[in-house]
Structure 1
Amino acid sequence: MRGRLWAAMIGVAIALGGVGAAAAAQWDPRAHRAFAGAATQVMVLGTPHLSGMPDTFKGAQLAPLLDRLAQWKPEVITIEAVSGPQCDHLRRYAVLHGDPAEDYCPDVAAEQKALGLDMAGATIAIEEALAVWPATPTAAQRRHLAALFLAGGDPSSAYVQWLRLATGERRAGDGLDAAMVARLEKAATRKNENIQIAALLAARLGLERVYPTDDHTADDAAGGSEAAGKAVSAAWDNPASHQRMADSAALNATLATPTGVLAMYRYYNDPKTAQLAFDSDYGAALKEPSPSHFGRGYVGWWETRNLRMIANIRKTVQRKPGARVLSIVGASHKAYFDAYLDLLHDVKVIDTNATLRLSAAPTVAPRRP
């Protein structure tokens, strides 16, 4: 009896040992890609923030880039902008987040007053309008939707509607007042990738909007101490950072031509550039030696922000499986986006530089006001 009991116990131990060995091999979501229909294709365009470009850069020099992106024919475009509802949250909880809304959110009080809507009302009205949006909307419908987008804290999508109006229909009315019109007209001159790339491309492709997917809810008012800033800044003073600055200066010297601008985008979307960016910034911060590990706290914020941005993109496309999605984001985010998106079961990450290397002739003229 005792012998049989011991034999049974040994058998159980061997079986459990086998389970443990199997469990030691990590389960990988990338190994599970069986799904109905076509993959959702996501191409991440890493971009420098155009607001920091030198005076030699002009929006018209983006034409070769826009031609290649248009040739890929994205059906959804996401941008690095904070949504109106999140801006509303950040303003309400500014004491916790250090008030990032001051830096990243437009003041829409005048627009909301003009329409008699708060942020929730404007956001719901946008969704309701798009749910029944006709194939051939009237100019009045487009003007009204543009006004709603402004009141809802999404000026880039408002500009898409403005561009989709015939030139003679770009005027006040149907909710747009003179101040809103002036704001939309001024957008054409802004050095901002959400306008000069995303909105122009969306209008050119016949899309109705772009999707803000930035996130600053990980911003922590308590995490931005002077000591933390000094520690992380010291970590950034390294050879990789000096190389990045030299590369940036060399690229900026070529921005007077469309060819130079396209070369800049190829540089920022090259995997070698991603490694250099990591070595200069987040990799250096991880090794920052302060007792409080300020650098690791900074990297934790960065990773949280990227993960939440990816969640916002995922939420945006979950109702459009199989779509082609262009995500336009600051270049430092690109490698993180590609890695995190590659974990999603039915998403295929597209090689951005393969598209940027294409020889593209413009098939549809960009619609610039």
Structure 2
Amino acid sequence: MIRASALLFAFFCSAACAQQPGFDPSKLKGPAQGPANEVLVLGSPHLSQLPKTFDPAGLRPVLDLLAAWRPQAIAIEALSGPQCDFMRRYPQRYQDSIESYCWDPAPARTATGLDVPSATAEAHRLLAAWPASPTAAQRRRLAAVFLAGGEPASAMVQWLRLPQAERRAGDGLDGVLVDLLTTLQGRRDESILIGAQLAARLGHERVYPMDDHTADGPSTDEKAAGAAISKAWDNPATKKRLAASAAREKSLGTAEGVLAMYRADNAPGEAKLAYDSDFGAALEEPSPQRFGRNYLGYWETRNLRMAANIREVLGEHPGMRMLVIVGSSHKGYLEAYLHQMHDVRIVDTGPLLR
């Protein structure tokens, strides 16, 4: 009788008796002396997905406001060269992700003779001894090394820091790589148009790719999973988000409209709306295969690994200000996860974007 009662209690108590853990890292902030790390997470639309009415020149007020905060490092939603190199070793699992998210370093390997591991090590070596006033030849060399290491946005930082007349082939950059950089400079990509542009303007030598797709993988039933999750996404919160986005897109030909878009994407309540529309809906998706929870598990894992990549950089340079540029739906998760870190303070984007 006692055993049966205990089992019944455990069954009914599994959810009702759940409690917060006794240890909460977010309440143990430090250090007592010296500056803490400050992180400002800028939620951004993916600029490549905006309509043709979007004028990249309209980003100038956003860049000016971010520059005034003077971040000492900039992290971007991009995969690192080493992660893509790892994923290429497992094409059965990651082929789609490689094609979607990984820069092809082959042309730079041909030009420099460096594979991704060698180029990554060479970039670290060069930066460790980087002079206060590097020559144009040194910048071209580092740009070529970054490209060979699968880090095109950091290569772009070096390219933009060159005087216009020095943006040419030489020192590891051949004609193919120069053409690639010229094309990349105009790409509608927040990692380039905000991240690399701002890094060059502030005198940084690189940006930090912090995205992670190692949780990617094919579903056992892609068609059924897609149908189930799409059905979950058909809800009032999604309709509200789509209507607001469509309204904002009408003004993207002006700088005022672009700034208004960033204010809206970073407004209080936007993270909860994204949850209600997307991840919370997936959590409650009722398929017997639990497709929605598979998707949610991928999403949370990805954000946790992104937060870990950001924290790793902060740990290497304690006491810094870091700007993180990320798709808007990631913003709330990254802020929440990074807030758990003892040595991280989250900076409110609201006052900055006013």
Q: Which band: TM-score by shorter chain? A: over 0.9
Aligned mates of 2:84, 2:249 — CA distance in 1: 33
**2:82 is the alignment partner of 1:85:** yes
**2:30 is the alignment partner of 1:34:** yes
**2:198 is the alignment partner of 1:201:** yes
Unaligned segments of structure 1, at least 5 residues: 1-22, 358-369
Which residue, 160, 182, 186 being the options, matches 1:185? 182
Task: Look up the match of 1:218.
Answer: 215
RMSD over equivalenced CA pairs, Å: 1.3
Pick which of 90-99 and 171-180 moved more: 90-99
Aligned mates of 2:313, 2:160 — CA distance in 1: 23
Matches within 5 A, 1:1-369: 26-35=22-31, 36-222=33-219, 225-357=222-354
State the AA in 2 paired with 1:103.
S
Per-residue displacement from partner, 1:126-185 (whole Å, max 9, x unpaired)?
A: 011001001110100000000001111111111100010111111100000011111111
Contact in 2 for aligned 1:81/1:212 (Cα 8 Å): yes
Aligned mates of 1:228, 1:278 — CA distance in 2: 19
Partner SS state of residue 348, structure 1: strand
Aligned mates of 1:351, 1:302 — CA distance in 2: 23
State the AA in 2 paired with 1:147.
A
State the AA in 2 paired with 1:341.
L
Contact in 2 for aligned 1:94/1:100 (Cα 8 Å): no
Partner SS state of residue 204, structure 2: coil
Shift of residue 224, structure 1, vs aligned partner? 6.2
Shift of residue 99, structure 1, vs aligned partner? 3.4
Look at both structures and tell me which one has the larger radius of gyration over its CA atoms: 1
Aligned mates of 1:187, 1:109 — CA distance in 2: 16
Aligned mates of 1:157, 1:118 — CA distance in 2: 17
Aligned mates of 2:196, 2:130 — CA distance in 1: 19
Task: Look up the match of 2:5.
Answer: none
Task: Look up the match of 1:365.
Answer: none
Shift of residue 58, structure 1, vs aligned partner? 1.4
Unaligned segments of structure 2, at least 5 residues: 1-18
Note closer, same or farther for the CA distance 1:162–1:326 as it changes in structure 2 (3 Å cut): same
Note closer, same or farther for the CA distance 1:223–1:314 as it changes in structure 2 (3 Å cut): farther
Note closer, same or farther for the CA distance 1:84–1:230 as it changes in structure 2 (3 Å cut): same
Contact in 2 for aligned 1:98/1:219 (Cα 8 Å): no
State how many pairs are aligned.
335
State the AA in 2 paired with 1:204.
R
Aligned mates of 1:317, 1:182 — CA distance in 2: 34
State the AA in 1 paired with 2:86.
H
Note closer, same or farther for the CA distance 1:289–1:25 as it changes in structure 2 (3 Å cut): closer
Contact in 1 for aligned 2:105/2:147 (Cα 8 Å): yes
Aligned mates of 2:164, 2:289 — CA distance in 1: 57
Aligned mates of 2:99, 2:88 — CA distance in 1: 8
Aligned mates of 2:208, 2:20 — CA distance in 1: 40
Shift of residue 96, structure 1, vs aligned partner? 2.5
Aligned mates of 2:156, 2:145 — CA distance in 1: 11
Shift of residue 353, structure 1, vs aligned partner? 1.6
Note closer, same or farther for the CA distance 1:292–1:92 as it changes in structure 2 (3 Å cut): same
Contact in 2 for aligned 1:251/1:264 (Cα 8 Å): yes
State the AA in 1 paired with 2:75.
T
Note closer, same or farther for the CA distance 1:170–1:348 as it changes in structure 2 (3 Å cut): same
Shift of residue 221, structure 1, vs aligned partner? 2.1
Partner SS state of residue 339, structure 1: helix
Aligned mates of 1:298, 1:259 — CA distance in 2: 36
Shift of residue 271, structure 1, vs aligned partner? 2.2
Note closer, same or farther for the CA distance 1:224–1:144 as it changes in structure 2 (3 Å cut): farther
